[in-house]
Amino acid sequence: MREKRESGSCVSRYSYVHQDLLPLYEQLLQAADDWATKAAAADAVLLLATHLRSDISQLLRYAIA
């Protein structure tokens, strides 16, 4: 029971992080003047999400162990 509760909190934190990144991504796309800048903005947000996902995965591993 404890494992589910801990992993659930990590998953909700993961969802929260991505809910915060989506508006940032949309703002960067709207502010960009050309496609190269839009692509760079998308890459930056994906890099952030990948990094944060890695951190969350590690938290989940430790919570379940």
Task: Name the residue range of residue 38's domain.
Answer: 2-64
Phi/psi-derived region of residue 32, left when phi > 0, alpha when psi is between -120 and 50, beta in every other case? beta
Check residue 33 and report its DSSP letter. Answer: S
* Number of domains comprising the chain: 1
Higher per-residue pLDDT: 6 or 52: 52
What pLDDT does 65 receive?
52
The whole-number average pLDDT for the span 39-50 is 81
Cα-only R_g, the chain: 15
Could you tell me the pTM of the whole model? 0.48
pLDDT one-digit tens code per residue, 11-44: 555 566 667 777 877 888 888 889 898 888 888 8
Min mean pLDDT across 5-9, 41-45, 52-56 is at 5-9
